[in-house]
Amino acid sequence: MVTSKFSWANIAIVLSLCLGSISYGYNFSIISTTVGQPTWYASMGLTADATNASLYAYSNQMIGTIFGLFSAGAIFGALFVGWVCDAYGRKKSLLIAAFINIIGGALQAGSVHVAMFIVARFVTGFSGAMFVTLVPIYIAEVAPPATRGLLVGQHGAFFLIGYVLAAWVGVGSYYSTNAQFNWRFPVSLQILWPLLMCCFIKWLPESPRWLVSKGQNDEAWQILEKLHSSTEDSTHTFAREEFYQITSQYAVDEAAYGVVSFLDLFRKPPFRKRMLIGTLVMWASQANGAIVIYSNIVGLVTGLGFSNSNSLLLSAGWITWACIGNFTNALFLDRLGRIRSLCKPIPYFLVDFRHIRHVLTSKGLTVIGITGCVVFVIIEAAIVKNYGSSTNKAALAAGVAMLFGFITFYGGFVDTTIYVYCSEIFPTHIRAKGMGWSLAVFFLSTLPFLESSTTGFATIGWKYYLLFIILPSINVFLLALFCPETKGLSLEEINGVFNDKVAVQLTHLDTEEKSALGACILQGTPVGSQK
């Protein structure tokens, strides 16, 4: 198979789609700075003052609900988009997501009481999940195998840009003398990114794999020819090979499985394995406390003795560092691999049970990113326990440093990888449903943590961190045992990892085999002839 890197067409598509990634990141993250604005509490009839015990308890409950309802909306949005983007295509689904996002952002900015704000968060959660599901699917379906990790990884990197924008907009707005502007302006910007996306959607091509699934092979070929056009490949060999592989694989999958219902995803063993792996990866990514720290970063820093203004500045710096980590994660994914970016070899002497030792060391896996997160959570919990209510500036500064250490491992090894991996493991005819399910699990996993985090930190303090020490320690071994590598394979060839038939093997053919197959493909026009 001719090696194809990315073209300017790939880059333009990725950057346009990543406006959806920014939308999700901004939607989710803006609440972190909003709940750090005293004027928001006043507008919503809430308080951050613990001396007013009854109102303070009620306020914590409402904030937990606000966090939780975003995730609840996201669960429904992820499942909905799994159906709608198969039925109507990737482009139309992006338009629907943008429209819903604009409505949710406008309602949130115009909220006059906390109930209206909660409903608006549910709506923006619904649309945010549509974006966070659609964007990696779309990019994966137009990216060459050799650079798919880098290109799909931009989704994770760009929604961190949404986090960064939300953080610094929140910091800037904090200093405004206009009490309503303090919090209404930042949340109103939620409508900007989907509006910008609407301007670019017209120029985006539809996914060629979706077009093949609808029998529109001629249009799929034209798109692939443009996507992989280069001076080094004047005969469009790479595009021809990929088109041949896509159409052949879809014909095989259609003959083997026909129409696949949602229940079939759990009934048929090859699909069930993928669904369970997607569930495990997304659950593990959230059960290490990342979502709680993301959402409560301002409050956590304030709890370490810093002022509101300094807490906002430190949280903005923390999220900026996370963004850098996500871009770094995307850069090495195609070299290091999906699982190895989560994992590294286990020392032989650390494993006591022979069977487990054999499996783990033969795969060479243990989760490095999540393990690193656990280490920093342990230290953070110890600092909060011993110095949380003290005036020991060195210890409190160390507490903030541990939060930065945590995000170094999470952003640098985990946050981008999970979206790339889950967008790859499902074949074309179930990719949208499988990715929708995985993201629904992602948001369902966040729900108990977000609902309980504010009250948990307020009532049991440092002990709440124990959740994020015990759970990821278990997940480390599950990920190492069950997750196969997908690096370097085309989307169609990943079928073989799950014991499904691969119609055409291109990536690992030798030179003679490539020449023979290339000659076969070039004998006739590829447009619509290999259905």
pLDDT digit string, tens, across residues 304-345: 878 877 887 888 888 889 889 888 888 877 777 676 566 543
Confidence band for 122, pLDDT divided at 50, 70 and 90: very high
Q: Flag whether 472 is in a domain.
A: yes
Residue 208 lies in a domain: no
User: Is the per-residue pLDDT at 354 higher than 80?
Assistant: no
What pLDDT score does 343 carry? 53
For residue 246, give every residue at least 6 positions away whose Cβ sits within 8 Å of its Cβ, in sequence order, or none.
Answer: 208, 209, 212, 220, 224, 428, 492
**Residue 222: per-residue pLDDT:** 93
What is the structure's pLDDT at 237? 82
Task: Name the pLDDT band for 363 (thresholds 50, 70, 90).
Answer: very low
Q: How far is it, in rounded angstroms, from Cα 110 to Cα 188?
A: 8
Provide mean pLDDT across the span 34-38.
Answer: 83
- Angstrom distance (rounded) from CA 452 to CA 108: 23
Beta-carbon contacts of residue 258 (< 8 Å; ≥ 6 apart): none
In the numeric block, which tokens belong to residue 302?
Answer: 């304030």
How many Cβ atoms from other residues are within 10 Å of residue 399's Cβ? 24
Question: In this structure, is residue 260 part of a structural domain?
Answer: no
pLDDT tens-place string over residues 496-521 = 888 888 888 876 555 555 555 555 55
- Please report, for the domain that includes residue 163, its CATH number: 1.20.1250.20
Which residue would you say has higher pLDDT here, 56 or 338?
56
In this predicted structure, what is the pLDDT of residue 345? 38
The CA distance from 530 to 245, in Å, is 9
Nearest partner of 124 among 28, 213, 218, judged by Cα: 28
- DSSP 8-state assignment for residue 229: -
pLDDT at 526: 43
Contacts of 282 (CB under 8 A, 6+ apart): 418, 422, 438, 439, 441, 442, 445
Task: Give SS3 for 259.
Answer: coil
Query: Is 511 inside any structural domain?
Result: no
Whether 466 shows a pLDDT value over 90: the answer reads: yes
CA distances from 206 to 18, 221, 357, 414 (A): 16, 11, 46, 29
What's the mean pLDDT in 73-90? 94
**pTM score:** 0.83
Q: pLDDT-based confidence at 140, cuts 50/70/90?
A: very high
Give the per-residue pLDDT at 529.
Answer: 40
Provide the number of structural domains found in the chain.
1
Q: How confident is the model at residue 395 (pLDDT cuts 50, 70, 90)?
A: confident
| Average model confidence (pLDDT) across the chain | 84
Residue position matching structure tokens 């999940």: 129
Residue 350 DSSP code: G
The whole domain housing 315 covers 8-203+268-498
Asked whether residue 474 is domain-assigned, the answer is: yes
122 within domain boundaries? yes
Contact 312, 171 (CB under 8 A): yes
- Count of all residues that appear for the chain in the document: 531
Tokens found for residue 7: 């073209």
Q: What CA–CA distance (Å, rounded) separates 225 from 137? A: 20
Cβ count near 393 (within 10 Å): 11
Residue 491 in any domain: the answer is yes
From CA 87, how far away is CA 15, in angstroms rounded? 25
The tally of CA atoms less than 13 A away on the side-chain side of residue 93 is: 31
What is the arithmetic mean of pLDDT over 244-254? 91
Q: How far is CA 202 from the centre of its chain?
A: 25
| The pLDDT of residue 105 | 96
Q: What is the pLDDT of residue 278?
A: 94
Q: What is the pLDDT of residues 401-430, one digit of tens each?
A: 999 999 998 988 888 889 999 999 999 889
Q: With a cut of 50, say whether residue 348 has pLDDT above it.
A: no
The set of residues, in sequence order, having a beta carbon less than 8 Å from that of 209 and lying 6+ positions away, is 141, 220, 246, 250, 428, 431, 491
pLDDT at 459 over 90: no
State CA 88 to chain mean position distance.
Answer: 23
On whether residue 210 sits in a domain, the answer given is no
Of 98-112, 146-160, 271-285, the least confident: 146-160
Residue of 250 and 387 predicted with greater confidence: 250
Task: With CA atoms as reference, report the closest residue to 242 among 265, 205, 212, 267.
Answer: 212
Give yes or no for residue 88 having a pLDDT over 90: yes
